[in-house]
Structure 1
Amino acid sequence: MSKVNFLGEDNFIRTMKTENSEFRKAHVKQGKFKSFDGTTLNYYFAIPDNATKVVVFAHGFCEFFGKYHEYVWYLYQAGLGFYFLEQRGHGYSEGKMKEPDVVYIDDYNTYVEDFHVFMDKVVMPATSEMKRILIAHSMGGAVGTLFLESYQGYFDRTILSSPMLKMKSVPSKLVIILIRFYAFLFGKRKSMAPRQKHFDAKPVFETSSAQSRARYDYMFEMRLKDEHYQTYGAAIGWGLASYKVHDRIFKNISRLTLPITVFTAGQDHLIDPDGYREFAAKVPHAKIIAFENSRHEIFNATEETRNEYFRQVLEIVESV
């Protein structure tokens, strides 16, 4: 495996603002493209000289490229290229609501088709001779899995990191029907869902998905400085679309044939572990690796867990 020096806690923010910033200025490029319905989506990429493999990211709910600055740096140091699409309604991609901190989607097929257009228009023409690896986190894990079930031949391997195969606290089918009826009747699909909240510029590290304070602070500082990064709460429509994801994924689960590794977090307050158990039973060739002491964001966990996660990711990608 390539030698990559993983950052600790004390030197993280200083290094991100110096060496990592210099790396991004020198090597990372930004691009935009029109999706299937004319929505303009934003992406970032960097390809080292002589790279033979490229990682394509599908990020999670309310995330943006800045949260992955450390991640893509490690890949680049290992000689790996990357493409990072900011999904519809996130970061500098279009699709935001009038309240820009609220995330809405009509259906997950929209995310999947955005990703399909991204692959066809941007990634495939530039990487036709390269191995391609999908790394998908949380909501992106749901999007990525649905994409793989619909479209074959785009990737050689997949890593799902805390994928949203099954959400926690999903209402009963009757309640979902009532919510859908209410949202339709009163035009509330794009309104913020109950128990969600707007971005209030107050850090909540203790109840966040991260265990590294430095990494949380780095990300939160970007949120404070840029409205594009202040996505924070789900619209009712996003919730309704997300409730359907589990059944959709497992309806076509037999279509998953490529090598898959699933990293799971034992202290995850967002994902129902029953989804992982069901996935393991129905996709027997998938390798499930549990980080029992991690919260949802394993790449932002404690140092020992985080370093082992990155070590395994690099080992998997380099083995393709």
Structure 2
Amino acid sequence: MTAQPPHYFDFTQEPQFTETMAGPVAEMWQHRQEGMFQGVDNLNIGWVSLTGYNHDKAIIVVNGRIESYWKYQELFYDLVKQGYDVYALDHRGQGISDRLTQDTELGHVEEFDDYVSDLKSFFDTVVKPKDYLQHFMLGHSMGGTIATLFLAQYPTLIDSAVLSAPMHGIRISNWMKPIASPLARVVEQLQRQPDYAPGQVPYYPKPFIDNPLCQSQVRYQWFRDLYESKPELKIGGPSARWVWQGMAAANRCIEQAAQITTPILLLQGSADHIVDNLAHQRFYQAMLQADRQCQLKIIEGARHELLFEQDQYRNPVLAATLFHLSQSTL
């Protein structure tokens, strides 16, 4: 018998969002485990887990730029309800992990591959020792880039993976595409220390009405309120070095697609103006040409934050995610 996608109303819904977050989600969050491990260059990398829900399968959530695992409590709750143990980490330079610059709101990285190395250390030291039968991965945006490179480098570790609006390319105007990376390299060389890329600024809370991320006001406001209550989580624009490192990493995702043997579900918002949706097509075609398992699902009308969108978009995203993972369940 073919497994059926979970029913939409198994997931948290916007009309009950405030009550759900204050009630059962907060209760679940009280039972989290947190810790630190040593990443590249001995940086302290923070992690969280929610365990005891399934001894056989765990899912690793790899979040995006400027994010923290604190932001993903609603998603964790939905995954826990579906019977997964959940693990997540905060990338170097953001969340509760060590910063790399004196300006704590600058989004910076020395080498993009350090993110991948940190994720491998997290898997080896925190997740793997629990002896799950299956390991799954859900990567969003920059986390999708990190997850893609991880899967290409370590093709036997993850049983099935979902990439939510992965940064396989950064959306920029056509005339800027040829010069964006070289320009960022020149700007970095002119800076005495890591600093913002041109046009980028420290953290500020964009009003909901002007935001390009999602169309759910209640979820968006919760995220902004979280960062006001925990200002140590705030991250602003990227550094010049992060820009060209990120663009190079996105290109490598497509170049290394053939090395991935893990079944992939790639989720795309048709109204996404953060990442380059055309790059998703290139990744998808590269997977198919290498005879790899990859499904591309477009969520019509959804913006970049597929996991924080309005219910009409988020429900099918979660249903497709869980159905995809269930196809690999023993």
* Coarse TM-score class (shorter-chain normalised): over 0.9
Aligned match of 2:22 = 17
Aligned to 2:67: 63
Map of 2:191 onto structure 1: 186
2:49 paired residue number? 45
Distance 1:152 1:209, change over 3 A: same
Alignment partner, residue 167 of structure 1: 170
**Secondary structure in 2 aligned to 1:30?**
strand
Specify whether residues 303 and 50 from structure 1 end up closer, same or farther in structure 2 by C-alpha distance, changes over 3 A only. Answer: closer
CA distance in structure 1 between the aligned counterparts of 2:182 and 2:271, rounded to whole angstroms: 31
Q: Could you say which residue in structure 1 is the equivalent of 2:287? A: 283
Q: How does 1:143-162 map to 2 (within 5 A)?
A: 143-162=146-165
Alignment deviations for residues 212-247 of structure 1 (CA, whole Å, 9 cap, x no partner): 110011110011111222112111111121121232
Deviation at 1:45, TM superposition (A): 0.4
| Pair 1:308-2:316 in alignment | yes
> Are the counterparts in 2 of residues 266 and 294 from structure 1 also a CA contact under 8 Å?
yes
1:201–1:96 CA distance, 2 compared to 1 (3 A): farther
Superposed counterparts of 1:193-212, under 5 Å: 193-201=197-205, 203-212=207-216
Alpha-carbon displacement from aligned partner over 1:19-62 (angstroms, at most 9, x marks no partner): 2101111x311111111321010011012344321100111111
Matched, 1:268 2:275: no
Q: Deviations over 1:141-181 (max 9, x none)?
A: 11111111112221001100000011111744455334313
Q: Distance in 2 between matches of 1:246 and 1:49?
A: 34
TM-score by length of 2: 0.90
Inter-CA distance 313–196: structure 2 relative to 1 (3 Å threshold): same
Q: CA offsets per residue over residues 266-317 of structure 1, 9 Å max, x none?
A: 0000111221111121111310000021000112222122111112222222
1:188-213 deviation per Cα after TM superposition (whole angstroms, max 9, x unaligned): 4x201122222234534532311111
Q: In the alignment, is the contact (CA less than 8 A) between 1:48 and 1:79 conserved in 2?
A: no
Residue among 105, 108, 118 paired with 1:104: 108
Gaps (5+ residues) in structure 2? none
Partner Cα separation in structure 1 for residue 111 and residue 274 of structure 2: 20
Identity within the alignment, %:
24
Q: Distance in 2 between matches of 1:19 and 1:28?
A: 13
Partner secondary structure for residue 233 of structure 1: coil
Question: Which 5+ residue runs of structure 1 have no aligned equivalent?
Answer: none
- Taking structure 1 as reference, are residues 75 and 176 closer, same or farther at Cα in structure 2, changes over 3 Å only? closer
The count of corresponding residues between Structure 1 and Structure 2 is 317
1:295 alignment partner in structure 2: 303
Establish whether residue 319 from structure 1 lines up as the match of residue 327 from structure 2.
yes
> 2:38 maps to which residue?
34
The match for 1:243 among 240, 244, 247 is 247
